[in-house]
Structures are given as C-alpha cells and as structure tokens.
Amino acid sequence: MTTVESRSSVAAVGERWARVDGRAKVRGELQYAADQPVRPCLDVAVHRSTRPHAKITAIDTSRALAAEGVVAVVTGADLYAEFGDRLMTGPAFSDQPCLAYGKVRYVGEPIAAVIAHGAKQAREAAELIEVSYDELEPVHDVDKAVLGAPFVHDELRPSIVFGDLKHLRGKRDTNVNYEYNLRKGDPSSVSGTTVSYDFWCPPTHHVPIELPFAAAWCEGERLELLATTQTPSYVRQSLADLLDLPLNRVRVRTAPLGGSFGAKMYDRLEPLVAALAWTQKMAVKITATREEAFLLTTRHGCAVAGSMTADENGMIVASTSDVRYDTGAYADVGPRITAKSGLVAPGPYKVDNVHVRSRCVYTNKPSAGPFRGFGVPQVTWAHESLADELARQLGEDPVEFRRRNMLREGDIAPVGTPMHSADFLGSLDAVTEAIEWGTPFVKQEGTLVRGRGVAVGMKAVLTPTISNAVVQLNQDGSASLLISTIDMGQGSDTIMAQIAAEVLCLGEGDVRVVQADTDVTPYDTITAGSRSTYHTGNAVRLAAENMRDKLVELAAERFGVVATDIKLTSDGLVSAQTQENVSVSELLHGHFGARGTTLTAEANFSTSWQPYDHENGLSPQVTEHWFAGAAAVQLTVDTATGRVHIEHLAVAGDVGRAINPAMVEQQLSGAAIMGIGHALFDQMVFDEGQIVNGTLLDYQLPSIKDMPDKLTPIIIESPHRTGPFGAKGVGETTIIPLAPAIANAVRDATGVRITQLPLTPERILTALEEQS
Amino acid sequence: MREIELKVNGLRRKLGVADDELLLDVLRREFGTTSVREGCGVGACGACTALVSGKSVSTCLSRAARFDGAEITTADGLPADDEVVDEFVANRAMQCGYCIPGFVMMAHELLGENPQPTDEEVVEHLEGNICRCGTYSEIHAAIKAAATRRAAKNERATA
Ligand code: FES
Ligand code: FES
C-alpha cells in the first residue's frame, strides 16, 4: 500500500483556462456549419416580396423552372397545401410561414424557393419568378400601429409553446399582440420634481460575422438538419410540429457558431430547408447572404415615454413608462421581451409608485427577435437617462443620487421580487472609481468639450428553463460532456469543462464537450439570455457530482470501507481510514475488466418562477436571479463636428463568481464594444418599410478605430446561493447600461439631453444648434 | 471556363474556373481552405482575407481567373511555428473565432511591410476588418507581441 499526498482540489473554477480550440480558431481550421462535410446538397434561393403589405394574387414560376440547373420551384401556397396551418411557426405566436402564402407582410419576405444545382443558378432563377400583388395599406411605425387599422394580421395566433398566451387566441383587429402592465401604488398621487421625455431606439442588427446556414435531408423516414442555431432543442420541436413527426425522427445537428448574439435562435432558415427537404425528398442547403441576414431578424426598435419623480429628500417616489416594442411583421419572441423587459423599466431603484405599460406591436417590417440584452437596453436607455436628468435638475451628483435610491440585497424590486446577488452598488462604485469620478478634469480644449457619465443596468435571467447534462467518464480518466448548450464565442465549452473538472478533480484539457446534436445530447431550453453558466452549469455540476458519487461507491466496494471514508482527489480515490488509493483509470478497469469503457452519470436542472399577476404585473419570484452591471465613461464631444471620442470606458458586471475570469472580461468588453455601436452609429434605416442600409458597406459596426483610448472591464463577484460555485451568466450585462452612460456623458459635456439613438454627429450638432 | 494555375499554401495546382468565379469560392472548394470565409461579400469585413504575394486581398471581391500563377497564403496554411498564430493564441485573441484568420493575415501583411508598427499603425491597418465579438484589444496586443518576437528572432539570426 502506498500513501499519497492528496492534492484534494485541482483548481479549475476561477482559473483562466485557455479557450477550447483556440489554435484551430486562429488558424481557421475550426469547422463552422457551412464548413462541415455533409452529403452533396442542392442550393436554395428565395424570391422575396417587393411590397410591405399585399395580397398575393398570382405567382408565375414558369421562367424560373425552365432556367438552367433548376430542379424545383416551391411556393408558399404549395407548402400550405401540404402542411396547412402547421406551416406557421414561431416561439410565441404561430404567425410566421417560411414562405408567404396569401399575403406578404414586409419587403423582403420570402414567397417562393428555387432549388437548383449551384447557388448562383438558384439565385438567378429566383429573380425570374413573377408575383402579382393586390396592395394593402401598410403600417410602418409603432405609434400608428397601436392606434388601429391597418392590421398586419387579421387575428392573433398564439403558439402552444407559451401556455399563458392561450387566452389571446382569436383576438382580432389589433396590432398589439401582447401587453404587460406593472402597477404599484399611484404615480399620480405624488408630487416633487418630475422629468419626462420620449425616448427612441432604432432597430439594429446583430451582424454575427458568420452568415446563417442550414442544410436538411431525409434519412429514410427521418429528417436530418445541420444549422447555425443556438436553439437545437427548440428547432427539433418546431420541425417535428411542422412535419408532424415524433421527436426521434428529427435530428438537429449544430456546429460552433461564428457569433450570434440572438440572431440564430428559434425559427430562421430551418423550417424552410426542412419543409423543402421533406416535401421534395432532396438534400438542400441555404446560405443567407449578408443582405438576406438583415431580413431574418432584427433588434426591436422601441419607443418609451417615461417619467421619474423625486421628493424633496432626493428619493425617487414615482416612475412611469409607456413602452412600445416594434416587433415587425412576426411576433417571434417579442411578447416575452415585452414582459421581461417591461418589468425592469423602472430600473434598479426602490420606487413605491410605478406604472409600466409595455406593448409588443406588429408593423410591416422584418420581424424583430432576441438580441443581446433582450429588450432591456431599450428601457434602460430611458430609465438611466431619466435618473441622470433628475439628479442634474436636483443639482445633485448623478452617482450619489443613484447610490441613495438603488436596490440593495434583500430589497423588493418594483416588480415585487426580493433582490439577491445583484450588486448594483458594487458595479457602480467600481466603474466610477475606475474613471476617477469626482476628480476634476479639463472641461474644454478648443472645440472639444469633455464630460463624464454613468449608467446602471438591471436584467432578470430567463426563467423558467430546463437544462440537462450527461458526463461520460472514460476508463483512462478523460471525460466527455454531453450538453446542448452552444458555444458561439462566449466560451461555454471551456467553462462547462471547468465546472465538471472542478468536481471531478480533472485537469485542463481532460473534459471534452460534445457538439450539440439532438440525437446525442440532452434537452436544453436555449443558449441565450446569459442563462447557460447558471442553468447548464448547474446541470453539469450535478451530473459531475453524481459521477463522483459513483466513483466513491466503486472505491468503497473495492477497499471494503464505507463510502463516507472515500475522497476523490486529483490522484484518484483514497480511503481516509486505510490510506489505500486507486487511480480512476485503475478503478474503472477493475470494475469493468476492460480498457476503454465508460461510466455515465446524468442530471437535470430546472428553475421555476411565480408568474406575474396579469392585473398588476407583480410576482414574488419573477426570476431565478438578476444581472447587475454598470458603465462609466469619460469622453469628448467636438462641438465643430459633433463627433464623440471615448477616452475611458469602464464596465462592470456582477457574475456571482467568475468561472473563467479571462472569458468574463472578454464578454464584458465585447458587449461594451457592441454597445458603443448602438450608442453612436448602429441603426437599421427603413424607407417605407424597405431597409436601405442592409449591407456592410452601409451598415456601420464598431471597428478597431472605435475602441476607447482605454477600456476597463471589471468583474464583480457577489456569489449567488444557488449558482454553480456561486456563478451567474454575463453575456448581456454590459451592453445594457452602455448607451445611456455615453449619452449622460454627452449631456455632461454639452448640457444637451439627447433622447434618440444613435448619437450621430448630425444629431449632436442639431441638438447643439437648437440649444444655442 | 478558363484554366489557371494557383499555388496555395505551397501547393501548386492547375484548375478550371468560370470567368466570374470568386477567389473565395475557389479557395474553399478546390483547396479546402476553410479559413477564408464570407462575412459580407462586399469587401467590408475582412473575413475572407488571403495574402497574394504577401499583399492582403478580399477574396470575396476578387475573380479567381485574375490570379493565374499567383502565390496565395491563407491562415490554415501558415507554418506550425508561425509567431503571429502563436501570439494570437497566447493573447487569447479569439472568441467565436470566425473573423480571426482574416486578422491574422492582415497582421502578416502589416509586419511584412512594417516590422515595428506603432499603435496607430496597427489600428490603421486593421480598420477594415470587423470582429463582432469585440476582440480588438487582444488582437492588437497579439500583433505587438508578434512584432517583438520577430525582432528578437531576427536579432538572434543576425548576431
Ligand atoms: S467577405 Fe470579403 S470582406 Fe467581407
Ligand atoms: S471573434 Fe467572433 S467575430 Fe471576431
């Protein structure tokens, strides 16, 4: 018998492990979906609507069919004949057909698909399709759409995914597909100093650099699909519903994503390729061009009419918000955004009198869906501009004003839920300290005026959701982790490996995460809303703990001691009583009597909530946990050109516990850089429903030139009692307060309060002119 | 259809290309170089960057037929001990990774022309490449580190 010195904890959690596949990514050898070897596929291209709102009276496909290389042309009407109402998909409302039939609802909506040998042939033939329309009056703007006709849909069609929308089925004559109301106290009953403004955020686009891709084919009586999706489990269900197949006859495979930020979720290209593959019995693929990607989904444009009132002690006593999300022609997950973001419209403040009215509104535009922040940046833009302006009008320091009013541990948020592990104060203090808030600075140099601004963000994690994990421990001591969380750059493959490794005392590189494949990896609600670290992370932790228990039992049997006597260390299993030890490899070999065997353990982790009251919007537990973040900025505005230059941007996010601090910093910085775009120039521009800047030549994105002179990401760790090792997610946290922080700094520098995004040079110059 | 000859990552091949075929598509299809990728198709993102005789080219805008006889390098063809690759890895200059090979090739072009670029020169050179994950600081640091390492290597070589 040998005695081992036990290194009982191999540090995995909290370590800056290198990103899985880092070298393959740098060399470009990592295979994304479109790089994967699949069977030869025919190419699909679609013919798109040129009208924002019209009845389709006739479609002539004959010229397209006769074109070289064309194998088939399929219209929405053809698919409707096959699938009936099942053709309509969508996470909240079954309102979106993969090819329009009867009616088109936005410019760019797909009407017919061409299947051809080669993408070029398919695209050229798609141009030859002729559609006759009977034009209907369109509605382009949320404020018009809420008033009444014209209606984008004749009738609301809630899907079966969200049971709580069922009561809306059959509702007619409205463009408002969902309304969330939060009512607490009576804002009209209080007096004091009030500020109120109308705010606007335009629709923006995610622009992940990888383009959306989907391929589908039949494998006997099954449908197989490989796609750029961050929701494989959802897509499997959606396609099974569409094709009326049991779940085990639909297989959804994924690949690492070249970014998504919400763009590659729910029903995108998948229903179309699945319907074509299934009806035509052909292997087909579609790669969206960048122009087409702009039409697939957007971030909600959003109007907020808001007010905030403070009493003579500088306490916020009332807050009101009228929020209108422009969801475009199809609801997608807009109703969820409307509610989940509406409930944080008052911001991270203690307020007794609150009224929020948050509505999801159809218009004749491309459909809006989830985008990093899930609608919260839009309402934060309002509440953080209001809080700032209120402080300034009271003659107070905006930081002190926020500190005094901020929700703290145990406080009840306006929505009725007590706060835990949401360190707004720590985040605020960290960012303001970083930019040296309160120390004097040179206010003006020639035409340059300098200012500082701050903003705080609050978001609820998506709840309830379900995650599963399976750990396979191989006889040699290496492990495979089966989860359906998608690594799209956030680093989940690395941190999930760290969580499993921490429990099982494994080292860097010992745990491999298996690519999500619904035939292989277990159900996971979605990879989104910064939920995976907490939810899937907990499932992984539990599965690894189950595995540890199994190993301990096997060792106890082997040593003839009780299980409580056994400890798992990085050197294997050791008995405290006898000092006997065995490596995992030997233990498993002894147990199975063979090399290369596997031991399997699994776990589920589900969260629950208490649905908000439909009358007043309140809930004692509206979410599993909260995200807190803050941004502070020092910048200059050139009063001659209107240009903003960021000297220092500090961002902080409370992540509970950083499983991998390096990746947390990248998430904090990445979200902040995306937020700079939203604050200063990012926007989709429409003219009569037609997108006019839908190429990367015209749509501006932050480049290395837009980086602040200094960017400081700060990790705040306020452990969550039920997080895996205290951890929560982070992906969205710092995009939330970014735009108001910049706008507040512009206000500080210039004295002008701008209430529309983005803060383009023209907009700033106009505001400066109006002021003088 | 035209017959051309390309030398891609040291591999010389004759092949037939259609007159309007893009270099991007030919590299991916004929040479399996997955590191060149379409991100925008209009020369505005840099994801499709390859080096032709050391000069960066947006392969999404370039007709393959024009490159008869050219020597092309893509990120997946770089030598195993490439210091730019090493420094990108060491500096964690990758998130989703999709844009990164384009940046690696831009870095090679820059260091080829200007072995000790200033911060401003790095920024100027990379301005046309988009990283939506926002990996700019890490990319910048990686390029500076690669420059330093190359200089040290060259010093050793000449010493
Ligand atoms: S794909 Fe060539 S530059 Fe974007
Ligand atoms: S690493 Fe994702 S786009 Fe650059």
Q: Which residues in chain A have their CB less than 8 angstroms from residue B96's CB?
A: 25, 208-210, 256-259, 488-489
Crossing angle between the packed helical segments A232-243 and A270-280, to the nearest 10 degrees: 40
Query: How far, in Å, from the CA of A489 to the mean position of ligand 2?
Result: 7
**C-alpha of A685 from chain center:** 22
pLDDT at A323 over 50: yes
Q: Do B89 and A26 touch (CB under 8 A)?
A: yes
Task: State whether residue A726 sits within 8 Å of chain B by CB.
Answer: no
CA atoms within 13 Å, Cβ hemisphere of A76: 25
A629-661 pLDDT tens trace: 999 999 999 999 999 999 999 999 999 999 999
Of B41, B47, B88, the CB nearest to A26: B88
Cβ atoms of A119 and A45 closer than 8 Å = yes
Q: Which of B98, B130, B135 to mutate to test the interface with A (most CBs of A within 10 A)?
A: B98
CA atoms within 13 Å, Cβ hemisphere of A191: 0
Q: Which two tokens stand for residue A264?
A: 């590659």
Amino acid, res. A407: L
> Where are the extended beta strands (E) located within A294-381?
298-299, 301-310, 316-328, 353-362, 368-369
Mean pLDDT of B32-58: 97
Query: What whole-number distance in Å separates Cα of residue A527 and Cα of residue A444?
Result: 46
What's the alpha-carbon Rg for chain B, to the nearest Å?
Answer: 16
Residues sharing a CB contact under 8 Å with residue A120, sequence separation 6 or more, in sequence order: none
Gap from A206 CA to chain B (nearest CA, Å): 9
The pLDDT assigned to A319 comes to 98
Amino acid, res. A98: C
Residue nearest to atom 4 of ligand 2 (CA): B131
Mean pLDDT of A710-724: 95
pLDDT at A4 over 80: no
The pLDDT assigned to A244 comes to 98
> Around Cβ B8, how many Cβ atoms within 10 Å?
21
User: Which chain B residue shows the shortest CA-CA distance from A709?
Assistant: B137
Query: How far, in Å, from the CA of A212 to the mean position of ligand 2?
Result: 15
Q: Do B92 and A666 touch (CB under 8 A)?
A: yes
Please give the mean pLDDT across all residues of chain A: 96
The pLDDT assigned to A8 comes to 46
pLDDT-based confidence at residue A9 (cuts at 50, 70, 90): low
Q: Do B75 and A27 touch (CB under 8 A)?
A: yes
Task: State whether residue A545 sits within 8 Å of chain B by CB.
Answer: no
Gap from A565 CA to chain B (nearest CA, Å): 42
pLDDT at A727 over 80: yes
What's the alpha-carbon Rg for chain A, to the nearest Å?
Answer: 27
Closest CA to A167 of A151, A175, A156: A156
Of B89, B101, B126, the CB nearest to A704: B126
> Around Cβ A147, how many Cβ atoms within 10 Å?
9
Cβ atoms of A74 and A21 closer than 8 Å = no
pLDDT at A1 over 60: no
Task: State whether residue A40 sits within 8 Å of chain B by CB.
Answer: no
Query: What whole-number distance in Å separates Cα of residue A31 and Cα of residue A493?
Result: 15
Query: What whole-number distance in Å separates Cα of residue A324 and Cα of residue A141?
Result: 10
Q: Do A666 and B37 touch (CB under 8 A)?
A: no
Q: Do A26 and B85 touch (CB under 8 A)?
A: yes
Query: What whole-number distance in Å separates Cα of residue A24 and Cα of residue A327?
Result: 38
Q: Do B96 and A256 touch (CB under 8 A)?
A: yes
**Torsional class of A21: left (φ above 0), alpha (ψ -120 to 50), beta (otherwise):** left
Mean pLDDT of A104-130: 98
Q: Do B135 and A256 touch (CB under 8 A)?
A: no
A22 in ligand 2 pocket by Cβ < 6 Å? no
A510-543 pLDDT tens trace: 999 999 999 999 999 988 877 889 999 999 999 9
The pLDDT assigned to A6 comes to 39
For residue A422, the surrounding DSSP H or E stretch is none
Q: What is the maximum alpha-carbon separation in chain A? A: 88
pLDDT at A710 over 70: yes
b/e A748-771 (16+ beta carbons within 10 angstroms → b) = bbbebbbbbbbbbbeebbebbeee
Cβ atoms of A630 and A348 closer than 8 Å = no
Mean pLDDT of A81-110: 97
pLDDT at A409 over 90: yes
Query: What whole-number distance in Å separates Cα of residue A617 and Cα of residue A292?
Result: 38
Q: Do B101 and A701 touch (CB under 8 A)?
A: no
Task: Tell me the residues of chain A between 74 and 133 that have a Cβ less than 8 Å away from chain B.
Answer: none
Q: What are phi and psi of A130, to 5 degrees?
A: -115, 130
User: Which chain B residue shows the shortest CA-CA distance from A22?
Assistant: B89
User: Which chain A residue shows the shortest CA-CA distance from B86?
Assistant: A23
B98 in ligand 2 pocket by Cβ < 6 Å? yes
Gap from B10 CA to chain A (nearest CA, Å): 16
Mean pLDDT of A718-743: 94
Q: Name beta bridge partners: A444.
A: A449
Mean pLDDT of A170-192: 96
Of B98, B134, B140, the CB nearest to A210: B98
Query: How far, in Å, from the CA of A224 to the mean position of ligand 2?
Result: 28
Of B40, B74, B134, the CB nearest to A290: B40
**C-alpha of B155 from chain center:** 25
Query: How far, in Å, from the CA of B103 to the mean position of ligand 2?
Result: 10
pLDDT at A5 over 80: no
For residue A385, the surrounding DSSP H or E stretch is helix A376-393
Q: Which residues in chain A have their CB less than 8 angstroms from residue B101's CB?
A: 26-28
pLDDT at A503 over 80: yes
Q: Which residue has the higher pLDDT, A678 or A614?
A: A678
Q: Do B94 and A696 touch (CB under 8 A)?
A: no
> Which atom of ligand 2 is the closest one to the Cα of A259?
2
Query: What whole-number distance in Å separates Cα of residue A206 and Cα of residue A298?
Result: 7
pLDDT-based confidence at residue A463 (cuts at 50, 70, 90): confident
Please give the mean pLDDT across all residues of chain B: 96
User: Which chain B residue shows the shortest CA-CA distance from A489?
Assistant: B96
What is the three-class DSSP state of A694? coil
pLDDT at A168 over 90: no
Going by the DSSP 8-state scheme, the letter that residue A756 receives in this structure is B
pLDDT-based confidence at residue A729 (cuts at 50, 70, 90): confident
